[in-house]
Chains A and B, each alone.
Chain A
């Protein structure tokens, strides 16, 4: 199993860099993960989505897809893609330390 080091702590990740154990994640790790995902600085809106991803995962055991994010996070699809150009649900899940959301739509 591959590992990565964020905020001086080693965590287990899968081949795509998603956390295998979301409990290993801490908020201090987010900016570093974001940089590896091409986002230099996390804004308030980024954090809003990251926290939303964590909450959804804690509640449902899976992260939301982009459509669900657009409908329930209070941030529009357009803005989501401005915040996370490389795929909002995927990138936000990676930064939030949860598995990649599964879902076709």
Chain B
């Protein structure tokens, strides 16, 4: 048997739809394989677990060459909402859960969700501002203690 991964710690630093989903898929996939998983939300990644914002995550239409959209079209008001709506529609067809539903599911798999203290201080966020599934707001040092012995993935 080849080497196996026993634990992953995934850092979510971006607040766009395309920035958040890969981390959630990797965390959920890790748990499905029986791998211990923890998610650490930092900077704009905190939006994914922000009570008022996690239902309103959007695709970045500016500075995103992968969309193959003319740069100037990306700045048109409402473009981000339109693209997000389009993608969400496609995802729904494939039975990919919305971000709030996905995060709830990941918490149910036993993965740990944590907020970054420095970012929460910066944005003036307390634990009450984050969804209930977030276990704690922790420091970078505490994150490393938790991640010890496993793989760290930065997204």
Task: Note all chain B residues with C-beta closer than 8 A to A22.
Answer: none
B55 interfacial by beta-carbon distance below 8 Å: no
Please give me the residue from chain A that is nearest to B105 by CB atom: A77
Q: Which of B25, B28, B34 contacts A86 (CB 8 A)?
A: B34
Task: Note all chain B residues with C-beta closer than 8 A to A54.
Answer: none
Within the complex, the shortest CB–CB distance from B148 to chain A, in Å, comes to: 21
Complex-state Cα separation, A104 to B95, whole angstroms: 11
Within the complex, the shortest CB–CB distance from B102 to chain A, in Å, comes to: 8
- 79-100 of chain B: CB within 8 A of chain A: 95-97
Task: Note all chain A residues with C-beta closer than 8 A to B110.
Answer: 78, 81, 85
Q: Are B97 and A76 in contact (CB under 8 A)?
A: no
Within the complex, the shortest CB–CB distance from B105 to chain A, in Å, comes to: 6
Within the complex, the shortest CB–CB distance from B152 to chain A, in Å, comes to: 21
B76 interfacial by beta-carbon distance below 8 Å: no
Q: Does more than half of chain A's interface fall in helix, strand or loop, or is it mixed? A: helix
Within the complex, the shortest CB–CB distance from A41 to chain B, in Å, comes to: 19
Q: Are A87 and B32 in contact (CB under 8 A)?
A: yes
Within the complex, the shortest CB–CB distance from B145 to chain A, in Å, comes to: 23
Q: A105-B25, A105-B28 are in contact. Are A87 and B33 (CB under 8 A)?
A: yes
- 16-71 of chain B: CB within 8 A of chain A: 25, 28-29, 31-34
Task: Note all chain A residues with C-beta closer than 8 A to B129.
Answer: none
Q: A90-B34, A105-B96 are in contact. Are A77 and B29 (CB under 8 A)?
A: no
Q: Are A65 and B105 in contact (CB under 8 A)?
A: no
Q: Are A104 and B97 in contact (CB under 8 A)?
A: no
Task: Note all chain B residues with C-beta closer than 8 A to A67.
Answer: 28, 95, 97, 105
Complex-state Cα separation, A91 to B108, whole angstroms: 17
Measured CB to CB, the residues of B under 8 A from A are 1, 25, 28-29, 31-34, 95-97, 105, 108-110
